[in-house]
């Protein structure tokens, strides 16, 4: 059977798609890039933004036509569009054969006619040797219930995987050629709070009922010596769960990259309260300063929503001024769109006009382009260690430790760490030339 998986949304979705692909490969199925050649098409969807849902609905329309033209294709929808009650989806899209909630692969395996009993651990990189970078979910779900967000309703409550389970997956990924792992969670610093207590024994964590539950710092220490592993990253941070222990682990562990993605969402306490983010601006700034003090060269990334319910000009200006002051390396900005099923959709009017949202979005994008450009100029004439990911249109691409995209010419291969001299920097990337590898002494 040939299958095609279409994926939108966050890295957690990308990881889920790879895991599903691994399970299908193991059952003897073959991946295809062309949905029209596939016997099974899976749409892995996202509900965080309306735009992502619209794209999935567009894909469903194309698949419906494909089927109407006589193509025998089974269609499955998985991911955050599928809630605990899917009757509405079944009514709207009666031609879909299976609906599967995030990480619940059973309905898809069933529609593919695959007996999936016992498939509890699917290394994501089963099958062909994979990319030099691997994404490993370490905690699923979210307990925070920010008023605008659908994730807790679709991905359920926070549930951590054990350190042993994660280490096995990282060892497997690295044995298949991965050099970098990104530990994933919607609130990745919440990792471990729901696991049984334990203690460090020698160089590993033991679940022995004593001490305290493990945290992200323990997890990073526990995978640090995996053979072949060169870099560790983690995504996405939740400011309140970020602790000094975790920040210290980033500072101390050589393989953990100095790169933090800490969403602020708004620079105004009134908006933060309506979003129920669970922190004030002062508390956010405290964490930001702690990171800067302990990891001075850290690259900082954040997420912002503009045009949230009731956002006034003054409130927006506070967000703008905050970004101007903190000078993030990168800002992911989105205009608010109400998501049915969320607290904001039920209780707060979506009263910022669409054109005002667009103006605010563009103002942040312009500010961000200027600041990123200025920050990136600092890399000019520097030498950067780049983990090479791929070659396209005659040049190599990869990332430095700060997570900056680097394009370069010269000798390299995917998976190698190459020293690159930077001779051009834009707001979006660095460009340069590979330096010859040093001759071993």
List of residues contacting ligand SF4 (CB under 6 A): 142, 144-146, 149, 151-152, 186-187, 238
Strand-strand pairing, 231-235 and 180-184: parallel
Q: Does residue 132 contact residue 387 with C-beta atoms inside 8 Å? A: yes
Dihedral in degrees, nearest 10, Cα atoms 111, 115, 117, 120: -70
For residue 186, the minimal CB distance to ligand SF4 (Å) is: 4
Q: Does residue 369 contact residue 422 with C-beta atoms inside 8 Å? A: no
Beta-strand ranges (E) seen in 276-414 are 299-306, 330-335, 383-392, 395-399, 405-409
For residue 236, the minimal CB distance to ligand SF4 (Å) is: 7
State which H helix or E strand residue 250 sits in: helix 244-252
For residue 134, the minimal CB distance to ligand SF4 (Å) is: 22
Nearest of 111, 12, 99 to residue 56 by alpha carbon = 99
Euclidean distance between CA atoms 298 and 428, whole angstroms: 18
For residue 303, the minimal CB distance to ligand SF4 (Å) is: 8
- Give the three-class secondary structure for 243: coil
Euclidean distance between CA atoms 20 and 310, whole angstroms: 41
Euclidean distance between CA atoms 241 and 260, whole angstroms: 13
Q: Which is nearer to ligand SF4, 157 or 370 (CB)?
A: 157
Q: Which is nearer to ligand SF4, 141 or 198 (CB)?
A: 141
- Encoded tokens for 47: 């509900």
Q: Which is nearer to ligand SF4, 64 or 240 (CB)?
A: 240
**Residues with Cβ within 8 Å of residue 289, at least 6 apart in sequence:** none
Q: Which is nearer to ligand SF4, 19 or 144 (CB)?
A: 144
Q: Which is nearer to ligand SF4, 364 or 406 (CB)?
A: 364
For residue 357, the minimal CB distance to ligand SF4 (Å) is: 18
Q: Which is nearer to ligand SF4, 144 or 404 (CB)?
A: 144
Q: Which is nearer to ligand SF4, 105 or 148 (CB)?
A: 148
**Residues with Cβ within 8 Å of residue 169, at least 6 apart in sequence:** 121, 123, 124, 136
Euclidean distance between CA atoms 338 and 335, whole angstroms: 10
Q: Which is nearer to ligand SF4, 35 or 307 (CB)?
A: 307
For residue 278, the minimal CB distance to ligand SF4 (Å) is: 8
User: Residue 44: beta bridge partners?
Assistant: 7, 78
For residue 152, the minimal CB distance to ligand SF4 (Å) is: 5
**For the CA atoms of the chain, what is the radius of gyration?**
22
For residue 210, the minimal CB distance to ligand SF4 (Å) is: 31
């Amino acid at each position: 059977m040939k299958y095609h998986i279409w994926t939108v949304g966050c890295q957690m979705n990308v990881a889920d798609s790879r895991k599903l692909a691994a399970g299908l490969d193991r059952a003897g199925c073959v991946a295809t890039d062309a949905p029209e050649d596939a016997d099974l098409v899976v749409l892995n969807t996202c509900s965080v933004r309306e735009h992502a849902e619209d794209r999935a609905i567009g894909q469903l329309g194309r698949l419906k036509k494909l089927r109407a033209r006589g193509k025998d294709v089974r269609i499955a929808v998985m991911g955050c569009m599928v809630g605990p009650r899917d009757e509405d989806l079944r009514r709207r899209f009666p031609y879909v054969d299976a609906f599967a909630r995030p990480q619940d692969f059973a309905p898809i395996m069933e529609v593919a006619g695959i007996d999936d009993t016992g498939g509890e651990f699917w290394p994501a990189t089963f099958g062909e040797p994979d990319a030099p970078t691997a994404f490993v979910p370490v905690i699923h779900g979210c307990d925070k219930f920010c008023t605008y967000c659908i994730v807790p309703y679709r991905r359920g409550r926070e549930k951590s995987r054990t350190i042993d389970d994660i280490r096995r997956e990282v060892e497997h990924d690295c044995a298949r050629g991965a050099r970098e792992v990104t530990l994933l969670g919607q609130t990745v610093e919440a990792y471990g709070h729901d696991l049984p207590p334990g203690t460090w024994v020698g160089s590993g964590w033991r679940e022995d009922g004593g001490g305290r539950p493990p945290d992200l710092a323990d997890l990073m220490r526990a995978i640090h010596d995996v053979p072949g592993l060169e870099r560790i990253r983690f995504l996405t941070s939740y400011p309140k769960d970020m602790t000094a222990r975790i920040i210290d682990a980033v500072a101390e562990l050589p393989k953990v990259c100095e790169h933090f993605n800490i969403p602020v969402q708004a620079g105004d306490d009134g908006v933060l309260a309506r979003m129920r983010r669970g922190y004030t601006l002062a508390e956010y700034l405290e964490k930001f300063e702690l990171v800067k003090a302990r990891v001075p060269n850290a690259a900082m990334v954040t997420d912002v929503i503009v045009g949230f319910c009731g956002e006034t000009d003054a409130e927006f200006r506070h967000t703008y001024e905050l970004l101007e002051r903190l000078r993030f390396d990168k800002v992911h900005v989105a205009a608010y769109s109400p998501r049915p099923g969320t607290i904001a959709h039920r209780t707060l009017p979506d009263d910022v006009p669409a054109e005002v949202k667009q103006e605010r979005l563009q103002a942040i994008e312009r500010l961000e382009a200027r600041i990123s450009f200025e920050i990136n100029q600092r890399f000019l004439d520097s030498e950067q260690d780049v983990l090479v990911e791929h070659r396209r249109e005659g040049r190599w691409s990869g990332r430095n430790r700060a997570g900056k995209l680097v394009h370069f010419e010269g000798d390299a291969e995917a998976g190698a760490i190459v020293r690159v001299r930077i001779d051009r920097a834009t707001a979006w990337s660095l460009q340069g030339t590979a330096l010859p590898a040093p001759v071993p002494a």
